[in-house]
Amino acid sequence: MRDEIIKKTKELLPKEPSLNDYDKTYQSFEWKQAYKELDWFEDNKINAAYNAVDRNAQGDRKNKVALYWESDDGQKLKYTFLDLMELSNKFANVLKNLGVERGDRVFFFLPRVPELYYGFLGTLKTGAIAGTLFAAFGEQALFDRLQNSAAKILVTNKELKERVDKIKGDLPKLEKILLVDAARGDRGALSLPREMSGASEEFKVAHMDADESAFMLYTSGTTGKPKGIIHQHLAILHQHMSAKWALDIKEDDIYWCTADPGWVTGIAYGILGTWSLGAATLVYEGRFSPAKWYELLQEYDVTVWYTAPTAIRILMAAGDELPRKYDLHQLRHLCSVGEPLNPEGVKWGKKIFGIPFHDTWWQTETGGILIANYPIMDIKPGSMGKPLPGIIAGIVDDNGKELPPMREGNIAIRPGWPGMMQKIWRRQQKYESCFINNWYISGDRGYKDKDGYFWFIGRADDVIKTAGERVGPFEVESALVEHPSVVEAGVIGKPDPIRGEIIKAFVILKDGVKGSDKLVEDIQKYIKKHLAGHAYPREIEFVNSLPKTRSGKIVRRFLKAKEMGLPIGDTSTLVE
Ligand code: WT7
């Protein structure tokens, strides 16, 4: 039932929220009014990294802890804002010494280690564009991204470098590799610690136009290779305001964003928007486990927690006894992103932590939260909430005509907000195709109810969301056909109670090859290594043919409908 609204009033909240009257703020807010929340240089330019760190390091928050870091093996470190400023300055000097210039691409292929955080900031300080690569990526995924971006510098570690070594020869633009864990240079790579030790702690931060490029992230669509989404320095304004209003972050919070900076959440709300507000952030390098996560929440006195539905569902499945063993009373605000959050997840938060999970909706392309549930606003469990002040959201048809409440259509946003992607790297046409009739078309379908709450229905395309991670079926199909036994493959997202979706592949084998459990395993291993650890098909079905259009395109919606036992719709364009 959808009518069990979770009522919110100021009296019921543990703290006065930053956004204390949604309707009033929504009616009156304009982005220009918020420009004063940032520090601008005298020449009216800005730098996102300066705003995230330096302005705090140069003021009262100088010795305040900005980053609590815990490694996979339990090592604990603390960094103040001053530490982060000095380390990012040093890193910026290292880049300068290597000849990095404004607009060059500097990529990070690392697990969640401190070098990734200050390196990212240091890159922005030089005016270069920082890019991140999820540590689960294999050779093919790495190659596509490093080649398309023509990255000049790659920062990685010894273990991950082995994957880079296999493709390095085909990346002529890649000039230098920096290793975070090597005491000295080795086989064409430099030691970052060694370069850092000789670098100055002083750096003159690059003054950037608000719309100059700051960082880029590759993300997947239905077809083609991943696209490089570019964000401008002014995106930090959106991230700052949304971290304040939707995540309700205040300077005295201990905030934990469980997302990896290989994805946009880990950047927008793990580096930029949240440090800009002066809060302390927890980063845990290790893998997910329910007991460890509760332990971290308790040990660091986490107050605001931003996580994802798959994690919430796994925690739920681990049982309610476990969290009751920990003292978690300091938690005061819980948020979720990345995939649909079912009403059960929202309510489970309330049952276990005394507060519901607040769903938020956005994308890599949007640079920050667009639709959210706010501490002060009643929650309709299952709804993504309402647009952030400054954001105009609508449901539109395929021609970009706005639809009335309760009608399903494309979730669309009026362009021009500060976090909106500024371009798609070297794919201007693709960029332009995202806008219709002065709306940014998100690729998600949904509807708006009579009270203005938005509800998610599904993707308009074939993009897969598995455990919150966005995977393009084309990338997986391309990797599958590289396997010596595979001729053709069609890939879909199959609904899964825990992961939201799992990747399922329909595979045609070469003549004479027989399908077996061993072959399934072998193909899975191949994809994990070749493409990415998280993007392998958990299910593989061997088939004799695949549904195709006359032009030879695999019709994934047909595979999906069949898999789910749904009507298959119009098949008149199919040949098989
Ligand atoms: C896609 C964007 C947003 C940062 C992390 C993901 C899906 C995202 C929700 C939500 C239902 C959601 C959409 C969207 N998605 N949030 N609250 N409810 N679906 O960024 O990897 O670019 O993925 O994730 O399909 O388009 P991303």
* 454 φψ region: left (φ > 0), alpha (ψ -120 to 50), beta (else): beta
- C-alpha dihedral over 94, 98, 104, 106, to 10 degrees? -50
Q: Cα(193) to centroid of ligand 1, in Å?
A: 36
524 CB neighbour count, 10 Å cutoff: 17
Residues with CB under 6 A from ligand 1: 219, 263-265, 337-340, 359-364, 384, 442-444, 456, 459, 465, 470
Return the ligand 1 atom nearest residue 365 CA: 22
Residue 7 contacts by C-beta under 8 Å, 6 or more apart in sequence?
378
Closest C-alpha to ligand 1, atom 23: 363
CB 52 within 8 A of CB 271: yes
**Euclidean distance between CA atoms 148 and 107, whole angstroms:** 12
Ligand 1 mean position to 255 CA, how many Å? Answer: 21
Nearest C-alpha to atom 18 of ligand 1 is from which residue?
Answer: 340
Tokens of 365: 């392309």
Report the residue among 238, 310, 335, 361 best suited for mutation to probe ligand 1: largest number of ligand atoms under 8 A from its CB: 361
Residue nearest atom 6 of ligand 1, based on CA coordinates? 338
Atom of ligand 1 lying closest to residue 360 CA = 17
What CATH number belongs to 10-445? 3.40.50.12780
d(CA 8, CA 375): 7
Helices in 361-516 by DSSP H: which ranges?
Answer: 428-432, 473-480
Q: What is the pLDDT of residue 576?
A: 57
Cα(360) to ligand 1 centroid in Å equals 9
- The CATH architecture of the domain made up of 464-564 is 2-Layer Sandwich (3.30)
DSSP letter string, 410-430: EEEE-S--TTS--EETT-HHH
Number of H helices, E strands in the chain: 20, 27
Which of 132, 220, 362 has most ligand 1 atoms within 8 Å of its beta carbon, as the pocket-test mutant? 362
Work out which ligand 1 atom sits closest to the CA atom of 463: 25
Give strand pairing partners of 68.
Answer: 78, 282
- CA of 221 from ligand 1 middle (Å) equals 13
Q: What is the pLDDT of residue 573?
A: 67
Quick check: 279 and 250 in contact, CB under 8 A?
Answer: yes
Based on its alpha-carbon atoms, the radius of gyration of the chain, rounded to whole angstroms, reads: 23
Nearest CA to ligand 1 atom 1: 363
How far, in whole angstroms, is CA 317 from its chain's centroid?
24
For residue 361, how far is its CA from the centre of ligand 1 (angstroms)?
Answer: 6
At 42 the three-state DSSP class reads coil
Enumerate residues 6+ apart whose C-beta is below 8 A from 430: 227, 424
Nearest to 308 by CA among 337, 340, 285: 337
Whole-number Å distance, alpha carbon 327 to ligand 1 midpoint, is: 31
Atom number in ligand 1 closest to CA 369:
3
Please list the pLDDT of the chain residue by residue as tens digits (576 residues). Answer: 455 899 998 888 989 999 999 999 999 999 999 999 999 999 999 999 999 999 999 999 999 999 999 999 999 999 999 999 999 999 999 999 999 999 999 999 999 999 999 999 999 999 999 999 999 999 999 999 999 999 999 999 999 999 999 999 999 999 999 999 999 987 789 999 999 999 999 999 999 999 999 999 999 888 888 999 999 999 999 999 999 999 999 999 999 999 999 999 999 999 999 999 999 999 999 999 999 999 999 999 999 999 999 999 999 999 999 999 999 999 999 999 999 999 999 999 999 999 999 999 999 999 999 999 999 999 999 999 999 999 999 999 999 999 999 999 999 999 999 999 999 999 999 999 999 999 999 999 999 999 999 999 999 999 999 999 999 999 999 999 999 999 999 999 999 999 999 999 999 999 999 999 999 999 999 999 999 999 999 999 999 999 998 888 899 999 999 999 988 777 766 665
User: How far is the C-alpha of 389 from the C-alpha of 392, rounded, in Å?
Assistant: 8
pLDDT at 2: 53
Beta bridge partners, 106, equal 130, 153
In this structure, the strands spanning 227-232 and 423-424 are antiparallel
Q: How far apart are CA 493 and CA 539, in angstroms?
A: 10
262 closest CA partner among 418, 160, 135: 135
Going from the Cα of 539 to the center of ligand 1, the distance in angstroms, rounded, reads 23
Give 234: exposed, middle or buried? Use CB within 10 Å, 0-12, 13-18, 19+. Answer: buried
Separation of alpha carbons 339 and 470, rounded Å: 10
**Alpha carbon of 265 to ligand 1 centroid (Å):** 10
Q: What pLDDT, on a 0 to 100 scale, did the predictor assign at position 236?
A: 98
Q: Ligand 1 pocket test: which of 470, 501, 534 has the largest number of ligand atoms within 8 Å of its C-beta? A: 470
Phi-psi region at 224: left, alpha or beta (left = phi > 0; alpha = psi -120 to 50): left
Dihedral over Cα of 403, 8, 20, 274: its sign: negative
Phi then psi for residue 69, to 5 deg, are -120, 135
Residues 6 or more apart in contact with residue 501 via CB below 8 angstroms:
464, 465, 466, 493, 494, 495
pLDDT per residue over 165-197, tens digit each?
Answer: 999 999 999 999 999 999 998 778 999 999 999
Distance separating alpha carbons of residues 297 and 323, to the nearest angstrom:
10
Which residue, 233, 203, 211, is CA-closest to 87?
203
For residue 194, give the DSSP letter: H
pTM given for the model: 0.96
- Domain extents in the chain: 10-445, 464-564
